[in-house]
Every structure is written in structure tokens, then in C-alpha cells.
Chains A and B, each alone.
Chain A
Amino acid sequence: MAVATRGTSSNYLQRAPSPSGLADVLDVILDKGLVIDAYVRVSVIGIEVLTIDARIVIASVDTYLRFAEAVNRLDLAASQPAGIDELRGGSSKREETRGAIEGAKEKLTPGRSSTKEGSRSS
């Protein structure tokens, strides 16, 4: 297969054995894995802060306007990159994870899943 001269393998396919950044770690462990649904379960650690900005639904007026802005900024003649960060807008990565485990003996509350939905605008 002919590959463009500038296209070495590392340019378009990056391999890593294990996640390095926080977002990639979250991808592997958040909401993934065996769930023990027992009355003896103490609680799931509060992870609402960790939902970050991974899932932004393209459905809001705000997002439309950002798309328009990004497209407008495109200089079709020259190449002035329009940063994806502008599309993501106000989302910010939380460096510190500060969820607290709810009191012992508390049953798992539905709050965990509602935080996920909370990141989607309706």
C-alpha cells in the first residue's frame, strides 16, 4: 500500500500499551467492569466530577454557534487551523478528582448514572 511520503506509521496510527492521560484512564475504568449489586455494598465512590467533557451532544444552540464560528474562521485559501478547543467551548478538565464515598452502609444511589446524563444538554 502506497503511503504518502510524510505519512509514517506514527503519524496516523499511535499505539500505547496503557493509558497515560487522565481522560484515557477514565475511558478504561469509568462505568466499566463488574458491578456488585449487593445490599452489603457500601457505595460507589462519587465520580460526578470525573465525567469531564467526554460526551458533548451536538444539539444545542450554543454548539451550533460554535460550529458556525469555527467554520467562519477557516481560511480556505491559507491554512489557519481552527482549534477543536473552540468547539468544546466551556468544558474544562478537572485536574483533581474529589468525589467522596458516601456514608458506609448506604446503598448504591442512582446519582452515579444521573451525572452522566447531566453532561448532556437537553
Chain B
Amino acid sequence: MTATPALALLRADGVAKRFGDEPAVAGINLDLVAGEIHALVGLNGAGKTTLMRLLLGMVRPDAGRVTLRTDGAPVEVAHVPPPAWRAVGHLVETPFTYAELTVTETVRSAARLHGMTADDAKTAAEQVIDELALRHWASRRTCTLSLGNRQRVGLACALVHHPDVLVLDEPTNALDPAGVLLVRRRLLEAAAGGAAVLVSSHHLDEMARIADRITVLHRGQVIGSLPPGGTDLERLFFEMVYAAEGVTDEEVLAGVTSDRATRDRATETEVH
């Protein structure tokens, strides 16, 4: 007896996007499955944010298609009926924060825009403010918060309506260690509750702790996957990147040595 494959809630099939001559995303297949945390890792400019924007309909693909499963059937994101987006929460780049609003007003506003009634939004906002340890700042305007706390507010806005699909671009950016732990716990809880989670990060060890799948992106393409819970992920990651670039570890090491020698010579020149 074979296990039934899990249905993808959000899926990209051969999706591609160029900005001018630059291919930002080049034919990527990716799926988000209920109850699973799927991590995207890659260097800056690898295409993680563009891929997330494509998944959320923020940009239209040049090729391929992105579908969201609504009422049991996949629907292309450009044609998803608005109420179906209630199942999705996201934080991509800038948090949903308006300088003039307090933390509570911001989170309630996000809940309303995510389809909650005023009463439900009030209750849900209070709950997520406590969960993300924002109570102390609840009455403060968001413009007075630190970068890390604004990021927490953005996360609260993405989580407040208990979405089935979560798309988070580097959610632990600017967070202190306590904030990182909170986010990690919240994402694990969301996945345990059946949500499909897509999260990007530069922190490989962080992803190793929480992800069920780790996909490596480089120059807009999927170049492999890393074993979740594995060790020495950084070495494996760079091996993939170097292989994609067509260079060896030795060549990279020689480059680093050469750079160091150049720097040392420059320092000697300055000293003498």
C-alpha cells in the first residue's frame, strides 16, 4: 500500500520572472504542504523574495503558473476569489505597520483586512500580541518601536487570523534571541496545527532546527535541497553554490588566500 501524497496548498509550476535582462526566478517548481515547514535558503539576490512575491500574486510570472488550493481545487492566484485569501498570511520584506497607529490598532487593522469581524479582530489581536510578547508596547505607536519589535508586529499581522498558509520572508530579521525563539515556537505550532509554512532565511542552523524541507536557491533556480536536522549544513550549502557556479572549493580557497595576501600587502604598504 502506498501513502497518498499530501496535497499542495500553494504550488509553483515552472514559474519564471525576469526584470529586464536579469532572470530573477527561472523555472521553479515548489509546493507547500499542510503541516510542513518548507525553508528557502540562498544568497542575497538568489530569488527568494521574488519567488514569494510570485506565490502571493504580488508580481505576475512571465512563464509557469502559481496555484492556491481553495475549496479543494487549485486555482491560479490571479483568479483566486478574494475570500479565499483569508487562508493566507504573509510577511514579505516590509512589515504591515503604519507610523500613526499603535501596535494594537495595527494588528486589529490587519485582522479586519484578513476578513475578521471587528469583535473577532479585537480578541485575536489581543491574543497574538501576548503570544509575540508585544504587550508592553501595545499602546505605543509603531513608529516609536525598534526594528525588531516592528518585525514582531509584522509577524503578529501575518499570524493574527490563524492562516492555513504562511509565507514569511526572513521573519527573524532584526529579532533578538528571545524573539527568534518565539518565532520558532510559533511556526512549529502553526505547522503542528496543519498550516503550510514557507520561510526564507540566511540562518542555516535555524532552518535545520525547524524545517521539514530545505530548498536551496541560487541565481533564480533550485540547485538542490539540504537535509533538515543535518549537521554542517553551511558546508553542504556552499558546495551546492560552488557547483552551480562551476568553481571548486580549492579555487574558492585560493581566491580567499589571494584576497588576504592582497590585503596584507596593502596593510604593509600603509605601515611602511
A binds B: no
| Contact surface of B with A, Cβ cutoff 8 Å | none
A positions within 8 Å CB-CB of B: none
